[in-house]
Homo-oligomer: A and B are copies of this chain.
Amino acid sequence: MQIGTSRLATVFLTLFGLLAGLVLLPALGLAQATDPLHSWIDGAAKQAIVQFVQATTDKSSPNFVPPEARIATFDQDGTLWVEHPMYSQLVYVLDRVPALVKAKPELADVEPFKTVLSGDREAIAKLPKSDLEKLLVATLTGMTVDVFSAEAEKWIVTATDPRWKRPYTELTYQPMQEVLSYLRANGFKTYIVTGGGQDFVRVFSTRVYGIPPEQVVGSAGDTTYSYDKDGKPILTKAPKLLVNDNNAGKPEGIHLMIGRRPYAAFGNSIGNRQMLEYTKAGEGERLAMLVLHDDDKREYAYGPAQGLPDTKVGTFTQELYDEAKKLGWTVISMKNDWKRIFAFEP
């Protein structure tokens, strides 16, 4: 359709010359450049987003939502960026271990640090939950919040994903970036609501998603206020989980940190079920969407919904798929709904 419009414009320009061009050219340029969801194939998923925005922002709509109440929440791993084969934050945790052992050489012969240092990915993947917790505590707590941010920042700008050889922050989904921008352009406040670490995601959320730290809700540990040797106040990350922002913890975290029910929520796995239920249970027009990873060529394919390979990272069960269909949530097919997945694609 855009090609047709463009041809028509050429005819008009030829017929009416410069004056017409001055009027029409910028208008057409604008129309092409401003399909806010230009990486989406025209279909039910794209339509659901556009229709939701129209219904909630048109003042004459019965479902009009005042701007201050327009809240939209997005899971991060698997919804805004790649989560396979391993959550990026877990890569960070493993990458931190050598520096940790350098500072405390006695850890080199202690599990789970020994296994992580060996680099044996298969053995690492088999570490029991209790060992994983030891790694999280050792790499994500015990330092001031400022030191943690500086370390994470240093990692995030240099570390690269082994498949695409690009920084993890370039592995965000272009179509979802467009949804974030489109919602914000329509007065929505966009939040990340992630099972990942709140402090970790805050380090790059502004630069990568245009979402400021205070709009990142995530799994969060306690901090402890004290003074350093010069009497300067410091906040130290404590090994005590305050918010486990997964499953039921997502609506609970949303209430704690935002205080109102979202109008739109986006996820991709069973950990987002309750957030979507809670969102959709509100009055008026609500949007609930799930990204289905069904594109093993351009990204990954996993479910086990719809016969896709089973997975432990970002599990999307058939039960969740059926609930989505039953409750009027929209399932986004990466394969069929997205023209391109990453901004760096040609």
Using a CB–CB distance below 8 Å, which chain A residues touch chain B?
68, 71, 145, 189, 198-199, 202, 206, 212-214, 216, 220, 222-225, 232-233, 235, 242-243, 248, 251-252, 255-260, 274, 277-278, 281
Q: Which residues of B contact A256 (CB under 8 A)?
A: 198, 220, 223, 242-243
Bound Cα distance from A216 to B222, whole angstroms: 19
How distant is the Cα of A71 from the Cα of B242 in the complex, in angstroms? 24
Chain B residues closer than 8 Å to A199, beta-carbon distance:
259
Residues on B with beta carbons closer than 8 Å to the beta carbon of A145: 255
User: With A225-B248, A242-B242 as given contacts, are A235 and B255 in contact (CB-CB < 8 Å)?
Assistant: yes
Q: How far is the CA of A71 from the CA of B212 in the complex (A)?
A: 12
Contacts of A198 in B (CB 8 A): 256, 259
One of B243, B260, B274, B278 near A213 (C-beta < 8 A)? B260
Chain B proximity of A150: nearest CB distance (Å): 14
Do residues A259 and B214 form an inter-chain contact, with CB atoms below 8 A?
Answer: yes
Chain B residues contacting A224 (CB-CB under 8 Å) are: 248, 252
**Contacting residues, chain B, for A242 (C-beta < 8 A):** 242-243, 256
Contact B274 A214 (CB under 8 A): no
Listed by A's residue number, 13 A-B pairs whose Cβ atoms lie within 8 Å are A68-B212, A198-B256, A214-B257, A220-B256, A223-B252, A225-B252, A225-B274, A225-B278, A233-B277, A233-B278, A235-B251, A242-B242, A242-B243
